[in-house]
Chain A
Amino acid sequence: AQKITQTQPGMFVQEKEAVTLDCTYDTSDQSYGLFWYKQPSSGEMIFLIYQGSYDEQNATEGRYSLNFQKARKSANLVISASQLGDSAMYFCAMRGDRFAAGNKLTFGGGTRVLVKP
């Protein structure tokens, strides 16, 4: 079974500062993918960044970077230069690489980020 844990239910960040959102995971799969999604108040889940378990370098996408520490089973999201529009819920998710029926995305409980001007 796969499990994702996000220990920060909510946090404030000052505009233009960086923020780190924690994510730890548990899986018995040798190969897996880790994802971060943003969910603004409109409800849509917006894909932000992906990290493969065999990727040697940490993933980066614009202001988003993923601090992947495989031995510690953590995949923290770093948002640099926070903007007011970054205020949202952020979800960490993973998918195993096994061809199981319904190889599903497993989500964490989410972290609510509020950016202060």
Chain B
Amino acid sequence: ETGVTQTPRHLVMGMTNKKSLKCEQHLGHNAMYWYKQSAKKPLELMFVYSLEERVENNSVPSRFSPECPNSSHLFLHLHTLQPEDSALYLCASSQDASTGNTEAFFGQGTRLTVV
């Protein structure tokens, strides 16, 4: 069983829908991340939370809204998405957001299709 769990695994939504992606980690980590993986593009960091406080937003459009209510849970709220937002969304956690020797553990991702 992975230490980072993402739900749902697959999501199809219309451009006018509102949905949320959920991520939960059971590793006692202090940092959580959202990544976007599109076809033929490197993994893109979207958001970083350290100790429940957002420390980086890589110029992500406002139609993506993260929420981190506690150190174990991370949400990505979606609204009025575009077809180009279709991608695999990966959640990750790490012990610490600031040091170089801590690996990130990833969930299995949510495969999002916007129609």
Contacts and interface: CB of A to CB of B under 8 A. Distances in A.
Interface of A: 4, 29, 31-33, 35, 37, 42-47, 50, 52-53, 91, 95-97, 99-105, 107-110
B56 A102 contact: yes
A101 B55 contact: yes
A44 B106 contact: yes
Given A52-B100, A97-B99, A102 B105 contact: no
Contacts of A4: 42
Interface residues of B, number: 28
Nearest to B111: A43
Interface in B57-115: 58, 88, 90, 92, 97-109, 111
Contact of A102 (B55, B88, B100, B111): B55
Given A44-B2, A44-B109, A91-B43, A105 B104 contact: yes
B48 A104 contact: yes
Interface of B: 2, 33, 41-43, 45, 48, 50, 55-56, 58, 88, 90, 92, 97-109, 111
B5 to A, nearest CB: 10
A42 B88 CA distance: 11
Contacts of B58: 102
Nearest to B104: A105
A104 B48 CA distance: 8
Task: Name the 8 nearest CB pairs between A and B, nearest first.
Answer: A102-B56, A97-B100, A45-B106, A102-B48, A43-B109, A33-B100, A44-B108, A107-B43
A53 to B, nearest CB: 8
B56 A96 contact: no
Most buried by B among A33, A44, A47, A105: A105
Given A45-B109, A102-B50, 7 more contacts: A32-B100, A33-B103, A43-B108, A44-B109, A102-B48, A102-B97, A110-B42
B106 to A, nearest CB: 4
A29 B100 CA distance: 10
